[in-house]
Chains A and B, each alone.
Chain A
Amino acid sequence: MTDSAGRQPTYADVNRDVIRTLEPPSPAYFGWMAVVALILTAGILAWTWQIYAGMGAAGKRTPQMWAMYITTFVFWIGIGHAGTLISAILYLFRARWRTSIYRGAEAMTVFAVLTAGLFPLIHAGRMWFAYWLLPYPNQRYLWPNFRSPLVWDVFAISTYLTISVVFFCVGLLPDIAAIRDASTGWRKKIYGMLSLGWEGTDRQWRHYRRAYGLFAALATPLVLSVHSVVSWDFAMALVPGWHSTLFAPFFVDGAIFSGFAMVLVLIIPMRHFWNLYAYITDKHLDAMGKLILVTSLVLSYFYLCEAFTAWYSGDHFERASLFWKATKSYAWAFWLQYFCNSLVPLVLFWRRARTHTPTLYVVSILVLIGMWFERFNIIVPGLGHDFYPYTWGIYWPTLTDTMIVIGSFAWFFILFLGFIKVMPSVSIVEVKETLPHPVKEAHH
């Protein structure tokens, strides 16, 4: 790990550079905040209107009882996978390059899940009763139907959110302590409280290290389970194109794929604006690029399987559904998905592309678009041409649901922008760990 001058940063440099990112932000930052806040407001207004007028305000219909909301829900859940994956799985594999990006990724995870969590509410016809999905003793003596994939969602996602948040905060603890010691006045007080009085004593480190390992061990199966459960929302249904055992791994891979793309979309500007080249080096980008490439190839394989099984099953409904998706009203979305998810990432076979920031950035953006449309294609065209020809139909988005979907992005970014200014978005401790320890005499 070296900075532009090729000099290796010392422990002190790390503290300095990272804490520098928390300096009072520039007007440009506030400008961005304002824009995002504006979009968010529009989204909130749209949702208010929908609650008042009814689901009709969103463009749903028979047969598309689900549409953009669930699409975006799955999209955000997917994004929410990269963080925990990087911090947990790569931690277990002791991939040292993760240290300087995992904090940002984890923040992204937490905020993505917070965003995704809104959609089940937005989507419910009577969102004011959505809490009926939670198991709690009530005067109706009613309990949720644990056979319903939606209830599995409730458990999977709330668990995932909790664990991610805990993992995230535990990781932050020593860093907050560092900021505490570097800051003065009321900031010192606040960070002091947040640091829970961390001192970095040997006993603290000892249990901390152990616990951190265990968290990683717990988070790994969790991260895989969550998107599997989400995929079962579809796989458990009869709908042609949904009812497939392929879905769990298919969705998990897609999630990681889009998650990494989102990480790149976030850290590339960060390292640029805060001049963190010393910590987020081309080596990191290269590694991320490779991961995106691999997951893309796996995804393409799943696409092929999907198409093949639909054809090979000889099932009339499956075949009709696939054929319709590929050739009729929604064909454009169908092929856009393949272009973005299977074709574009292939450029990452070239090392230069993997380290050339603009290319990497464009690829990531396209991957995100592609992945959103992958979910769209499963849901909207999938439902549009199901078993019963009488009710076949085309879904048209309305201003309301479009605004809400866009608003969800604003919500995510407002959280993220807020975070990077109050918390270290690069882990001080773990970056230091990767540096050679300061020693007096070189060992012989």
Chain B
Amino acid sequence: MAAGGVLGVFAHVDTTVRAIRDLRAQGFTDFTVYSPVPVEEIEAVLEENRPVSPVRLFTLIGGLTGIITGFGLTIWSALKWGLVTGGKPVVSIPPFVIIAFELGILLGGLSTLLAILVLGKLPALRRSPTYDPRFTVDRFGIAVTCGPERAPAAGRCLSQAGAEEVRQ
């Protein structure tokens, strides 16, 4: 293993959680948790002393951009020719609100998608070495990245927590 590290495979949520706690206790900070489904308990442990995910920022910026574009486009293009229809003012705001709203949603959504990809480091061309196909079925995994000198400690900690198997 290039970076060096230990992978522990778990069958149960509680054992996984315990392992995470123990690792933390022993000062292991750099590890990745694999799970087939998002699990509240695991997230709860991990979210301790972590900032909130910045996804919402993407959404906000995208949405605002959309709204501004919407009003900008409609008002500017209406003024470009100033064609009167149905005796209504050239710049008639109420209908333009609709366009602004739709564009707000559109860009908001697209930038949220962008957030997933950027923050989730997707697309990833090849599987990470510690990945195991069972993680999309019913197994949980914890991959600890550490120097070879601390590997045994990590391994011990994982197996004590109740890992089915532990790999170097």
What residue in chain B is nearest A179 (Cβ atoms)? Answer: B136
Among A12, A214, A441, residue most surrounded by chain B Cβ atoms (within 10 Å): A214
Whether a CB of chain A sits under 8 angstroms from the CB of B165 is: no
Q: Are B125 and A163 closer than 8 Å at their CB atoms?
A: no
- A348 to B116 Cα, complex, angstroms: 42
Number of residues in B with C-beta < 8 Å to the partner?
69
Interface SS majority for chain B:
helix
B36:A170 contact, CB within 8 angstroms: no
B131's nearest neighbour on chain A, judged by CB, is: A199
User: In the assembled complex, which residues on chain A have CB atoms less than 8 Å from the CB atom of B41?
Assistant: 437
Binds A, one of B21-29, B73-81, B147-155: B73-81
Q: Is the CB of B42 within 8 A of A202?
A: yes
Number of interface residues, chain A, beta carbon within 8 A? 61
| Closest Cβ–Cβ distance, residue A117 to chain B (whole Å) | 15
Whether A202 contacts B116 in the complex (CB less than 8 A), given A146-B95, A147-B85, A155-B102, comes out as no
Could you tell me if A12 and B136 are in contact, using CB atoms closer than 8 angstroms?
no
* Contact across chains for A197 and B119 when beta carbons are under 8 A apart: no
In contact, A221 and B77 (Cβ under 8 angstroms): no
Judging by beta carbons under 8 Å apart, are B33 and A210 in contact?
no
Tell me if B12 and A438 are in contact (CB < 8 A).
yes
Separation of A197 and B125 alpha carbons in the complex (Å) = 6
Contact mask B124-135 → A, CB, 8 Å, 1/0? Answer: 111110010111
Q: Which of B82-132 contact A (CB under 8 A)?
A: 83, 85-86, 88, 92, 95-96, 98-99, 101-103, 105-106, 108-110, 112-113, 115-117, 119-128, 131
Query: Are A143 and B80 closer than 8 Å at their CB atoms?
Result: yes
* Interchain CB contact under 8 A, B33 and A197: no
B12 engages A439 (CB within 8 Å): yes
Contact B103 A155 (CB under 8 A): yes
Residues of B within 8 A of A417 (CB): none
Report yes or no: B120 in contact with A440, Cβ–Cβ below 8 A.
no
* A–B pairs, 5, beta carbons within 8 Å: A181-B135, A197-B125, A208-B120, A209-B43, A218-B63
